[in-house]
Amino acid sequence: MNETRPEDLIFDWNEDPKPPFRVQLDDETLRDGLQSPSARDPELDEKIELIHLMEAIGIDTADVGLPGASAKAREHITALCREMTGMRITPNVACRTVISDIEPAAEVAQAVGAPVEICAFIGSSAIRQYAESWELDRMVQMSRDAIAFATQEGLPSMFVTEDTTRAHPETLRALYGAAIEAGAKRICVCDTCGHVTPSGVRRLVGFVKGLVEEWGVDVGIDWHGHRDRGLGLANALAAIEAGATRVHASAMGIGERTGNVEMDLLLVNLKLMDWFEGDLTKLREYTLKSAEYLDLPFPNNYPVFGKDAFETSTGVHAAAVIKAFKKGDTWLADRVYSGVPAATFGMRQEIAVGPMSGKSNVIWVLEHQGIDATPERIDRVLDAAKQSPRQLTTAEVVAAAN
């Protein structure tokens, strides 16, 4: 074969028609991410660095906190909003649907001289209403008043119904209708408790999209999902397919309880599905820096960005990758045993030596260390590998060879 033809080598069973809109992304790392029981609140300079990395990978908006939480929160939010002035990425903040929560956000916007999107939230499910002893009429009035105040202050607003995935349709109709009448430019559908499955996402987002079309309003639909059942990423993709134009996610999926949609993996999939056109070579740095600054462990087997993602010591797998490299075909080497091309995300395939390795692994590693792969050296390394309970480090391979 003189030329690698993808259509000849990979039969693609996936069917991912591109949405008729550009998918927007809202980063929740510095708000919902900090609600993780294990997360550390980063220093301000660390948050600023993360905002610049979000900008570099093409994220549209970032939730920079709850201004009603504390004086420190307002200080950081003000500094972050000021930093974002003139950047492509724009800030938003989370507020309860009470004017006293939105007033500090208005003060921030006034201080920095730029708009700050208000994300005003209220619980919408019957179980939440029962626990809180809320009446729907009062909820509707609170929502209307809060959004009207934001509109009066010249602040763009998104109205957020918490626990949307367990709420009655007529409750959602009443709440969304009131918020839109008061000036909300976006409405957010939330799987706050991680309850829904992809089929439920399609039905629910389809219902909300139908309301927007019925009312004839130009209002965007957001999706905010949690991953208590491990369905966060799948649900986010289903929401886009159903018509959600902006998706909320956080680095590594960090957030309340088990967390949110993984921003890094969402971007990987959008890129591979041709639903995102940006350069993602900074995505790994964004992910690792987020883990570092929030003081959270980063698993070696984490998809795409974990240490093990593009490394193999298994003989048959490594042999296929090595043969591809020897053909001089990096495209082939990046895909023959990987569903994700490492180079697209600024990484590369790695060959190692372990208990399941063959001679080709050893030869590859020795030659890349500038060591002549003689039969004696190969045998010594293989013998050490077969006796080891784990993969050898490069230093251990070199030591065994000599």
Question: For residues 350-383, b (16+ Cβ closer than 10 Å) or e, as one string?
Answer: bbbbbbbbbebbbbbbbeeeebebeeebbebbbe
Matching residue, tokens 């130009």: 218
Contact 105, 140 (CB under 8 A): no
Cβ of 25: how many Cβ atoms within 10 Å? 23
> What was the pLDDT predicted at 6?
74
The pTM of the full predicted model, rounded to 2 decimals, is 0.93
Contact 93, 119 (CB under 8 A): yes
Predicted confidence (pLDDT) per residue in 92-107, tens digit: 999 999 999 999 999 9
Angle at 153 between CA 148 and CA 155, to 5 degrees: 85
Compute φ and ψ for 130, nearest 5 degrees. Answer: -65, -45
- Alpha helices, DSSP H only, in 327-393? 330-333, 359-368, 375-387
Confidence label for 4 from pLDDT (cuts 50, 70 and 90): low
Q: How far apart are CA 204 and CA 126, in angstroms?
A: 16
Mean pLDDT score of the chain: 95
Matching residue, tokens 């020897």: 326
- 288 burial (CB, 10 Å; 0-12 / 13-18 / 19+) is middle
Mean pLDDT of 48-77: 96
CA dihedral 101, 102, 103, 108 (to 10 degrees): 110
| Least confident window among 138-147, 252-261, 329-338 | 329-338
Mean pLDDT of 335-359: 93
Domains and CATH numbers, the chain: 24-293 (3.20.20.70), 311-401 (no CATH)
Which is more confidently placed, 316 or 212?
A: 212
Compute φ and ψ for 170, nearest 5 degrees. Answer: -70, -30
Predicted confidence (pLDDT) per residue in 176-213, tens digit: 999 999 999 999 999 999 999 999 999 999 999 999 99
> What was the pLDDT predicted at 7?
73
Confidence label for 1 from pLDDT (cuts 50, 70 and 90): very low
Predicted confidence (pLDDT) per residue in 116-158, tens digit: 999 999 999 999 999 999 999 999 999 999 999 999 999 999 9
Predicted confidence (pLDDT) per residue in 42-62, tens digit: 999 999 999 999 999 999 999
Q: Is the pLDDT of residue 309 over 90?
A: yes
Mean pLDDT of 288-303: 96
Confidence label for 8 from pLDDT (cuts 50, 70 and 90): confident
Which is more confidently placed, 8 or 380?
A: 380
Cβ of 6: how many Cβ atoms within 10 Å? 10
